[in-house]
Amino acid sequence: MDVQTNKPLSVAVLRTRNGEVAGFEDFYLLTCANTFRDIRSVTETDEEAWDLLRRVYQEVWQRHESLPETGIIRSWLRLLIRDVSQKTEGNIADNFTGDTPEELIPDADNRTVASLIQIEEALGMMWKPDVQPEERNQSTAFVAAGRFLFSVGLVAVAVLVALLLLQMVKKEVRESKLAPQKTKRETVSVQTETEKETGAAVAGWNHTDMGWQYRNEDGSVPAAGWFEDEGALYYLNEEGYALTGKHHFGVQDFRFGEDGILKEITRTYAREKSETILSVHMREYGQEADIDRIIDDSIVLDNEWIYFLRAEDGSGVPSLYRTLKAEDHTELIADSVSGYLVQNRFLWYCRKGSIEKFDKTAAESEFQDGFRMEEGNHCWRLKDASGGVVQPPNGYLDFDGRVYRIQDGEIKHVKNGPQRIGSYRFYCENPSQSPAILRDNGIAYLRHGVAIDALATLGESLYYSVLLSSGAGGAERSQLWRVDIYTGEAAAVSGVFQGRIAAMYPYPEDQIILMEYRPGKTNALYGKLALIQNGKSYTLQDDKLRAGTYGNGSDQLLPLWYDGTDVYCYWNNCSPDISSDGTIEVLSTRTLKIPISRKQMLGGESSDRGPKFADVSGAENPEETELPGASGNTENGEALSEDEMAEVNRTAEAVPGESEEKTEENTGENTGENTEAGSVGQMYVEPAPTEHP
């Protein structure tokens, strides 16, 4: 059993959220000591620290409705210290130590009370009506009396009364901290008949007409707040009952089951607009291009780590990351995260509608080189040079820019990180829908055809697949292009071909790009593998390997690994019915190795129309925004007009017919490796392990 809060603070948080002045006073008195220590560790004088403390708690009241849970209060206040200080002092150091002993804080009790009075004066609370006197507890009654005495000039008496209150609160907190540590108990499903007759509750869970209640061994209930038991997370009220149904805490919505177990966390995904500790950190380590992808109010400071949600290219649901505050080191915790919660040891997050947890103390594993694939139970397992199955602590392995999701040793999928060349980052404006490629913070780079389906970077070149036309009956024509971003040279690397490219995966170590290719008409699911090698494009011939009725034309290939001879894949049998939101359900999966000894040229005739580059020569910082080839004409490209810069051009282009494909034997050139499943404008639902054939 892991109780994350103490009772006084949890009550003060709830009352503050409700807008009660008395609750705010209690919250201030319970947290101001640690807040002052944190502020004093990054300011030069006591006076600066007290002044900043007052402004921080004024901001707390302005944000009282979004006050977080008690488990992250100190981290939240540290973030607030940073935000408030930046409004006047500019950036301050964020290496909070909070190690100033209370006895070394001059006149701590008097200054604490005086600052509370000044805060309330600044907020206009001195005469603000509050709850009725009979509803206020003993401590808040003292504060009310203090307000009255101060208002008539009896400051000394007010301070004396408030000091009495402060000592009472300190005593209550000390008793809470000195209380015996609660231990995990076995759960009890229901009370026995004897217990019902006597009214006695047993240690553990008890079911009553009011719901599920947890009792300690002595019959008392745990403190209100987040509560972990048997690997599940609950939220207990003051009577020890687990919340059920939907509740809104801070900026997130939490859904609890009838048994009280946390089932789901959701929130909105608006982008962060203000300057934060994370944006400062990103600028310091050259990650400016990612600042605009931070999700609003998703940042949590926790010791040496900063946790946050970041929007991903082409995905509506963000990923969860953490970065060291003092180093250039960022870790992916999970993708597709709709909300999360930081507690003492574990971080709880909701991924694809299910609650998972991450051990914050787990270090990233270091694996030996010499990776190899091994088949097991209709899946591929990644092993290192020692023969051990690779299993990262957080389930993700970043390998040469490819991020593998691994569960119980089994590779689930692979996806790429941001596509970069030097300091520039490139991404599709809206994959499969928009003809635009953007870079950095939404700066237009080029437009081409009807839609850009996928892109990848290799060396100093940007490669992309463009949909040139969509004809009658769902016939679609595409082409692959390359742009040297430093010279501006643009050239086709394939002829025009039927179908679309769903995903492109670069492997700089082999100078190759693997691709998921959908050769059919619009919304056709059948997929093959294609590749770009030495400036030419090919499809891999796999007809003999994929013989039979498996999938009946609704099967696709997901490339995972390349060993110099074979491409290791998942052969996914998909439901032929695509859901209204574009989701493709994977019914079952087989493993498959495809040799590259035979490959076939992709495409026929070339298109005579190249990309149109954005003219950024009038940008405010040309040295940061202008690239060669991004203004004026290039060998096969032209500049966008002003109208085209402002509006996406979706006019289909007429494309000549496709000629016969040419077959070429592979002469031993190296190819590369992998990444994640995807289809044009669609998402995958991972199959359950039991659904393997």
Query: pLDDT tens-digit profile of 480-499?
Result: 999 999 888 999 999 999 99
CA 680/CA 635 separation, integer angstroms: 30
pLDDT computed for residue 160 by the predictor: 54
pLDDT computed for residue 684 by the predictor: 32
Residue 307 φ then ψ, to 5°: -100, 145
Helix (H) or strand (E) holding 467: strand 461-470
Residue 45 φ then ψ, to 5°: -130, 160
Q: Are 415 and 687 in contact (CB under 8 A)?
A: no
Give the residue among 495, 470, 525 at the shortest CA–CA distance from 600: 495
3-state secondary structure 244-264: CEEEEECCEEEEECCCCCEEE
Residue 168, token pair as written in the block: 């009472």
CA 53/CA 59 separation, integer angstroms: 10
pLDDT tens for each residue of 382-414: 887 667 788 787 788 877 667 888 888 889 888
CA 207/CA 517 separation, integer angstroms: 56
Helix (H) or strand (E) holding 332: strand 330-334
Mean pLDDT of the chain: 76
Q: Which residues of 586-595 are buried (b: 16+ CB within 10 A; e: fewer)?
A: bbbbbbbbbe
pLDDT computed for residue 88 by the predictor: 60
pLDDT computed for residue 581 by the predictor: 67
pTM tops 0.75, yes or no: no
| Residues linked to residue 464 through DSSP beta bridges, in sequence order | 455, 481
Give the residue among 319, 342, 316, 325 at the shortest CA–CA distance from 228: 342
Task: Give the pairing type, strands 337-342 and 346-351.
Answer: antiparallel
What parts of the chain have a pLDDT lower than 50? 1-6, 127-142, 144-145, 148-155, 157-159, 169-198, 364-368, 616-626, 630-635, 640, 644-693
- Grouping H, G, I as helix, E, B as strand and the rest as coil, residue 210 is coil
pLDDT computed for residue 99 by the predictor: 55
CA 306 vs CA 278, 298, 336, 480: distances in Å: 7, 10, 19, 40
* Domains of the chain in sequence order: 9-123 (1.10.1740), 207-367 (2.10.270.10), 418-601 (no CATH)
